Amino acid sequence: MPQTSPKRIAVIASVYHYLSHAQHFSDRFLVGYPHRGRWHRPHMQVVSLYVDQKNAGDQSLDRAREFGFGVYPTIAEALRCGGDRLAVDAVLLIVEHGEYPNNEKNQKQYPRYEMFKACVEVFEKDGHAVPIYVDKNLSYSFPQGLEMVSDARRLGFPVLAGSSLPVTWRLPDLELPLGCRIEEALMVGVGGSDAMDYHALEAMQCMIERRGDGETGIKAVRMIEGEAVWEAGRQGDFSQELLIAALSRSDTPQGLTIRDGRTQDMVGNGELPRIVPHPAAYFIEHRDGLRTTLLMLNGAVGDYCFACRLKDNPTPQSTQFFLPPTPPVTYSACLVSKIEELIETGRSPIPVERTLTVCGILDYCLTSKTQGHVRIETPDHQVIYRAPSGSHHARD
Amino acid sequence: MSRRPVIAAIATIYHKFSHAQHIVDRFLEGYGWAGRHHRPPMDLVSLYVDQVREDDVAYDRAKRFPHLKIYPTIADTLTLGGNTLAVDGVLLIGEHGQYPQNEKGQRLYPRYEMWQEIVRVFETSGRGVGVFNDKHLSWNWDWARDMYDTARRMGFAFMAGSSLPVTWRTPSLEMPYGTKIEEAVCVAYGGVDSYDFHALETLQCMVERRDGGEKGVKWLRAYRGDAFWQALADGVWSRDLFEAGLCRSHTLKPARAGFNHIFPTIDEMRQLVKDPYAYVYEHTDGLRSAIIMMNGLIEDFNFAARLSGQQEPFSTQMYLPMPPARTSLANFFSPQVNNVEEMFLTGHPAYPVERTLLTTGLTAAGVESLYQGQIRIDTPHLDIVYSAPERSTFWRN
């Protein structure tokens, strides 16, 4: 048994109901989760909770009663557990789901930045900062994301952020060699913007950040939609070979497969334009010259698949980021083990710059969309980082 | 072989999500493999379908693939309407379709009857070609043994089995070759007979790699209902291996409302699992194995074993992307077809049919034990000795 007293955790959530992100993640600290073939119970204790919106199905009071923690009316009080000084060892900021307005770029304005700043204010006032886990994107706004990371650096606390996709199982268990030379990369995703394109971009980023000397920042982006996507494919703006490779990893092709169960080469048989009425392509130009593409192909497949071509290797590398069924959402357990590592070690196992990179890519791509799908230069996207040397996805 | 091999398929039925559709379609349409849309370097040219129902797609396939012809008999399918064997490989897919069940709950798929017709063509032609038999050999042990003996006697390549041994694993682990295994379990789900076989193959593809190879099975006993819960309490199989299996599941049903993933107590398991059963069996070399069927709690196939000298269980899940609930394609057939392709190209089975001969016998013994009131069944006929190949044949690329 561990001799140290359990780390104390504050949960700051937008909502807490069944199958909300707060429930997925916080519950694992309360009841444990499977890890490396065992049911693991973190040596940590949720001691306080703040919930921004309590709707029908709210579970916050039930959980507080059963597991013996307080629900506080403000973030500051949650971090201080009702006292006058910071009284927790870590903060989980889980602001996903809930009713929040969309802006003119159709980004859902989750108040992650505002809530993060409320934590920072406590850290500053109390002269002490602790690790924060930010669920999903840092913010819909790249400037806000930059400021959040800047705050963390200034006050010297670690931040772990991001999606579960980079840490879930991969089919196959592909990890690109650290320092590899990537010639081109492509990701296929599905779902709405700006929720699911974010996941897909982060899945791609966790692969390509292992190239060369790491991520070098973004030079420009462009997002296009509709027929222009197929035309871009015909013009060679993205590789058909990589699209085939990514789709070859899908377990969920639609169209003819739904009709009679058949396997299909959806690029070769020309089905894609017929079954994907509203495709979108996100083109990303990295500062080191790498070009990457996210294709959001609603109607084609239902999963998230990646492909890239490495220098001097004629065979594309490809994999599926495996999202097991909901419930029990086992992929969120993979991320919780990373959160535990953050809290235990005081260091984020995954660089927050990964999420900051994607935060900027997505924000600029949606600007491109609203400005008539033009190419947008991104001079302030100078997020430079190296991938961690170890692998952090589920593989043992 | 310089020309492209030609293949015949003998199927019970061919409709969406039947095994014939999954397997034959992959030969016709190709399938995602190693980052490409792989088209097998062979032509599936002839097909026999025993039962045709309203949603049949065999005739659609024959229309869309002009090189494919449907024949009225198995003999014609193998001779392409001529007098002598005219194909280089045979797929025998006797799964799905309307066939009676016997009093023990075994579905009487006519695999052996179809096999006999195939072998008759081989005999009259004076040669045999590689045969892949989908799932277990026959529900009837004597017939299964005869299939195996006939293939050996005539000297043609013979492969069989489930896709569980060759599908993805999460994590992507292979049993270390030559390791000493003290106990192994498969924690799974499904129905008596049909899914028993899958669970037994899941377990066998791992334990056959143990030190000394497979030496056969001495006895088997089923536990069901109250006897199951008592056996769990008594430690008839190790609790930690059982729990390791559940911890590899991606489908553990929440035992409490409002939680999405919570480890159940035994009382909660009893609420969720109305008809649990297990087959516990002992191999000739002393290894104890069990398949533990937890319908209502999980919907996947998980393996756990205690390796000699290791405290932590060795565990993984054999993952089936199962349509229609989770996927649209049963892609676990892709590695199976890929291994069968290899046999058709090389003339050598990619993995030993003795594995499936053993699991066929274990399936029948399990059903028999249940039928006879969960008695211990001695299995001297399962003295099946074989070595697994060291190389891995499951999906990892």
Query: Which of A62, A261, A318 lies closest to B25 in CB terms?
Result: A261
The string of pLDDT tens digits covering residues A163-184 is: 999 999 999 999 999 999 999 9
* Average pLDDT of the segment spanning B43-51: 98
**Cβ–Cβ below 8 Å for B262 and A27:** yes
CA atoms of B236 and B370, how far apart (whole Å): 17
* Average pLDDT of the segment spanning A230-238: 98
Mean pLDDT of chain B: 97
**Distance of residue A31 Cα from the nearest chain B Cα, in angstroms:** 6
Query: Which of B32, B57, B262 lies closest to A260 in CB terms?
Result: B57
Probe site for chain A from B19, B53, B170, B263 (most A CB atoms < 10 A): B170
**pLDDT number for residue A19:** 95
**Distance of residue A174 Cα from the nearest chain B Cα, in angstroms:** 8
Probe site for chain B from A184, A188, A251 (most B CB atoms < 10 A): A251
**Cβ–Cβ below 8 Å for A34 and B248:** yes
CA atoms of B207 and B117, how far apart (whole Å): 34
* Average pLDDT of the segment spanning A135-163: 98
What are the extents of the domains in chain B?
6-134, 166-328+373-380
CA atoms of A338 and A135, how far apart (whole Å): 12
**pLDDT number for residue A145:** 98
Could you tell me if residue A249 is left (phi over 0), alpha (psi between -120 and 50 degrees) or otherwise beta? alpha
Same CATH fold assignment for domains A7-162 and A170-321: no
- Under a CB-based contact definition with an 8 Å cutoff, are residues B329 and B219 in contact? no
Give the global pTM: 0.97
- Under a CB-based contact definition with an 8 Å cutoff, are residues B159 and B190 in contact? no
- Under a CB-based contact definition with an 8 Å cutoff, are residues A11 and A22 in contact? yes
The string of pLDDT tens digits covering residues A20-67 is: 999 999 999 999 999 999 999 999 999 999 999 999 999 999 999 999
The string of pLDDT tens digits covering residues B52-73 is: 999 999 999 999 999 999 999 9
**pLDDT number for residue B1:** 55
CA atoms of A304 and A283, how far apart (whole Å): 17
CA atoms of B368 and B192, how far apart (whole Å): 11
Q: Which CATH number fits domain A170-321: 3.40.50, 1.10.3470, 3.30.360, 2.60.40?
A: 3.30.360
- Under a CB-based contact definition with an 8 Å cutoff, are residues B377 and B280 in contact? no
**Cβ–Cβ below 8 Å for B172 and A325:** no
What is the CATH T-level fold of the domain A7-162, as seen in this structure? Rossmann fold (3.40.50)
Query: Which of B60, B258, B261 lies closest to A260 in CB terms?
Result: B60
Closest residue in chain B to residue A332, using alpha carbons only: B261
**pLDDT number for residue A76:** 98
- Under a CB-based contact definition with an 8 Å cutoff, are residues A324 and B250 in contact? yes
What is the CATH T-level fold of the domain B6-134, as seen in this structure? Rossmann fold (3.40.50)
**Percent above pLDDT 70 for chain A:** 99
Q: Please tell me whether residue A171 adopts helix, strand or coil conformation.
A: strand
What are the extents of the domains in chain A?
7-162, 170-321
Question: Helices B353-371 and B141-154, interaxial angle, to 10°?
Answer: 170
Residues of A in contact with B170 (CB under 8 A): 169, 171, 322, 394
* Average pLDDT of the segment spanning A294-309: 98
Query: Which of B250, B258, B397 lies closest to A330 in CB terms?
Result: B250
Burial of A130 (0-12, 13-18, 19+ CB in 10 A): buried
Residues of A in contact with B319 (CB under 8 A): 171, 322
Mean pLDDT of chain A: 97
Residues of B in contact with A315 (CB under 8 A): 34-35
**Is ipTM strictly over 0.95?**
yes
Question: Helices A352-370 and A196-208, interaxial angle, to 10°?
Answer: 130
Strands A218-225 and A376-377, how do they pair?
antiparallel
Please compute, for residue A331, the number of CA atoms within 13 A of its CA located in the half-sphere on the CB side.
17
**pLDDT number for residue A88:** 98
**Percent above pLDDT 70 for chain B:** 100
Probe site for chain A from B328, B336, B337 (most A CB atoms < 10 A): B328
Residues of B in contact with A333 (CB under 8 A): 261
**Cβ–Cβ below 8 Å for B260 and A253:** no
Residues of A in contact with B252 (CB under 8 A): 34, 328
* Average pLDDT of the segment spanning B119-131: 98
**pLDDT number for residue B2:** 73
**Cβ–Cβ below 8 Å for A260 and B16:** yes
